[in-house]
Amino acid sequence: MKTLTSREFNQDVSRAKRLARIEPVFITDRGRPTHVLLGVEAFRQLARQTETIVDLLAQPDAAPGEVPPPRDWDRTR
What's residue 54's pLDDT?
A: 75
Distance CA 41, CA 9 (A): 21
Helix, strand, or coil (residue 22)? helix
What's residue 21's pLDDT?
A: 94
| CATH architecture of the region 2-64 | 3-Layer(aba) Sandwich (3.40)
Q: Which residues pair with 5 in a beta bridge?
A: 28
What's residue 48's pLDDT?
A: 77
Per-residue pLDDT of the chain in tens (77 residues, 90 and over written 9): 899 999 999 999 999 999 999 999 999 999 999 999 999 988 888 887 666 777 767 766 655 555 555 555 555 54
What's residue 67's pLDDT?
A: 57
Distance CA 74, CA 55 (A): 17
- Give the pTM: 0.60
Distance CA 68, CA 56 (A): 6
